[in-house]
Amino acid sequence: MTPGAPRGETCVKMGRPSNTAERRAQIVDALLTVVSKEGYARATIAAVAREAGLTAGLLHYHFASKQEILVALVERLVARLEERFQTRLAEAGDEPRARLFAWVDAHVALGADADPRAVAAWVVIGAEAVREPEVRDLYTAALVASRDRLRTLVAACLRAAGRSTRSSDRIAAALLSAIEGAYRVNAAAPGVLADGWAAPTLRRMIDAWIESEPAR
């Protein structure tokens, strides 16, 4: 830890206005770009600095370690996804199935607010999570949040359709896996699956499953 280095957001003292927040964002963005293009192993501090137009020394002024930048990146990807979901949720209204589809769309749709770099980076992060406890914790937390929300959304659909909710967990697991798997295939073996297959397919899968569940 560099003593005195600015890790917080607030700046009580005046003087030269701090650009820490923007610099950190800029660095995280550069990491996102490099990771998505080259993978984590090649995302050296020097490469990230070059991408950001900064120096390696400065990166270490704003972040104590390379790991810390990765953590910030994960947080940012999760936050962006959350924004995407909230936007779609607001448009979805109260209908449970629309709300579930909003979740699916937020994850797979390639709308104007989509960042193609994010998918590749997310795949890399999943692999990195296999071994870095700190990354694993963040990744796990993100998945747990997704899983729980998904469960709730699925259960609401089942309930609205007058079906038993005992399969909520399984449907949620299948959806979550399919999303993560689609990311992965798309990033690591592009072209294997047709573009845009995911959203309509998953909607169709949801419908089929709900119809086939027994009544409550």
Partner DNA sequence: CATGAATGAGAATTCATTCAT
Partner DNA sequence: CATGAATGAATTCTCATTCAT
Residues that bind a copy of itself (CB under 8 A): 1, 36-42, 46, 120, 123-124, 126-131, 136, 139-140, 143-144, 147, 167, 169-171, 173-174, 176-185, 187-189, 191-194, 197-198, 200-202, 204-205, 207-209, 211-212
Taking the complex as a whole, how short is the minimal distance between the CB of residue 4 and DNA, in angstroms? 9
Taking the complex as a whole, how short is the minimal distance between the CB of residue 50 and a copy of itself, in angstroms? 8
Comparison of 14 and 90: residue with beta carbon closer to DNA: 14
Q: Give the DSSP per-residue string, 29-83.
A: HHHHHHHHHH-TTT--HHHHHHHHTS-HHHHHHH-SSHHHHHHHHHHHHHHHHHH
Taking the complex as a whole, how short is the minimal distance between the CB of residue 54 and DNA, in angstroms? 5
177 CB-near residues (< 8 Å, 6+ apart) = none
Which amino acid, 76?
A: R
Comparison of 2 and 86: residue with beta carbon closer to DNA: 2
Residue 86 binds which of a copy of itself, DNA, none (CB < 5-8 A, kind-dependent): none
What angle is formed at CA 36 by the lines to CA 32 and CA 38, rounded to 5 degrees?
115
Could you count the other beta carbons within 10 Å of the beta carbon of residue 111?
11
Taking the complex as a whole, how short is the minimal distance between the CB of residue 144 and a copy of itself, in angstroms? 6
Comparison of 90 and 128: residue with beta carbon closer to a copy of itself: 128
Q: Which residues of this protein are in contact with DNA, per CB under 7 A?
A: 2-3, 6-7, 11, 13-20, 23, 42-47, 54-62, 64-67
**Distance set, CA 112 to CA 35, 75, 116 (Å):** 22, 21, 10
Taking the complex as a whole, how short is the minimal distance between the CB of residue 91 and a copy of itself, in angstroms? 25
Any bridge partners for residue 215, and if so which?
A: 163
Give the pair of three-digit tokens for residue 120: 């590749």
Taking the complex as a whole, how short is the minimal distance between the CB of residue 21 and DNA, in angstroms? 9
Comparison of 81 and 87: residue with beta carbon closer to a copy of itself: 81
User: What's the CA gap between 167 and 49, in Å, rounded?
Assistant: 48
User: What's the CA gap between 123 and 143, in Å, rounded?
Assistant: 13
Residue 64 binds which of DNA, a copy of itself, none (CB < 5-8 A, kind-dependent): DNA
